[in-house]
Structure 1
Amino acid sequence: MITVLGFSSKAGKKIAGQKIVSLNGTISEILAGIGMEPYIIGTDVTSNFPESIKRKPKVGHNRTISAEGIIALQPDIVTGLTTDVKPELQAQLKGAGIKLVLFNQEFTADGTRKLIKEVATAFGAPSKANPVIDKLNADLASAAKSGKTGGKPKVLFIYARGTGTMMVAGEGTSVEQIIELAGGQNAVKGFTDYKPLTPEALVAADPDAILLFSSGMESLGGVAGLQQVQGVNQTKAGKNKKFITMEGELLTGFGPRLGQAVAQLSQNLK
């Protein structure tokens, strides 16, 4: 039977030390931060921090994972976000007798603190959350002091997987939230989630900066490739070559490194 464990210390003691597969990079990072990395026997491909996590067996991308790869590792527990584990995957894991520990995530600084506490408590180490949160708070405070941008530059985030797949981030996305934390504003409004990039919308948005994942920029062939995208050179960002790249999980993970992500983006927006 699938067991979605609560966050009581009693539940946590029952699962501490068991074999874990993590299907989310942020959860994996928190688990490593509270000393649970030795018990992680597999992860999804978004789990890439700390560096040692990359050496764990991979079971695929969290949105397209099949049960077979997870079950083959014989974990006691599968953990991740509620948005990551589809009902059919839950049913398959249930049939294999694997427990699920799933969390909700809010893309705010308080949401990150809450998630760290919940993960630590669920895995039987509530006190281990404190130093992780203390470091997060210090990083956020440092970013706030040094990250004044002088106004709120308009930032357009483009999710790119080559020129054939280019999407822009709308309202309510994790990207919009971190842009605002870094002192900027989303250059596009009027829709939620993501929508395809069009030259007309790009020119109309006229961003001061264009933000991409590092992997996205690489998929376009670097800056030269981005400048070939229709409409880019007609924007302020294009004319000033204000293109910013960041590692994807750092930028959007809203995990323990949130303060570092805010600081890095703030500096790049200056």
Structure 2
Amino acid sequence: MAEIVAIKRAAAAGPVTVSREQSALIMTLSNPPANALSLAVIGELHNAIDTARNDKSVRAVVLAAAGKVFSAGHDLKEMTAHRSDPDRGRAFFKETMDRCAALMQAIVTYPKPVIAEVDGVATAAGCQLVASCDLAFASEHATFATPGVNIGLFCSTPMVALSRNVSRKQAMEMLLTGNAIDAKTARDFGLINQAVPRDYLHKVVMKYVETVAAKSPLTLRIGKEAFYRQAEMSLADAYRYTSEVMLENMLARDAEEGIGAFIEKRDPKWSGE
């Protein structure tokens, strides 16, 4: 516990608070009220998950936020300030979009489960952040939107993650209208896994952390990578690819141990190999 407190104090001065709880790395957006995804915030999030990549004690990553807004998306004030640049902000806008896209892809390709814990408003790139996570849980007070169309800036990059989570009609409804949806609707759309009372949100998230932490880390890494790769393939290519994945997985020590433990009716002891 002392170690966790020390980490929280060390990181509290920045826009992202990084701490440890059980086997989870907790990354908390700590720059209310908007918790905007400025370049600094994007960089801190990316650095935090990279730092924990090879830490075997970290079995999952949780993305949370302080305040009433999970994230309002890109820092529009920061971006607007660069309109006075000689290129009208083109270089800065490109850097922002490129680095944000890199963060979202890093979450998807991360070898450990990434879980969003949403207790507030998640809009535009904030909604994109939620959609990029492997699992997402929200309080009943949470809302989600891709409202860029309302200010003349279509949510094209958030659309990538959104359209890979919900149906086309539902994605287009959010993108074309800019209307917010509540947590129950987000669950029905498939954007989040569960909508729960606020007092239980963190407990639910940590229960899932505990559940995935009990699995073989090798198996989770193999499975997560295969899930996202096969989703972009044709049916025949997906079966060819996943058959090879299962073959290699079957030869892993953890699969041998897990199957043996199942047959022998005992708890497995994972080696991560």
By percentage of residues, which structure has more helix? Answer: 2
Structure number with the bigger relative contact order (C-alpha 8 A, sep ≥ 6) is 1
TM-score for both structures, normalised by structure 1: 0.25
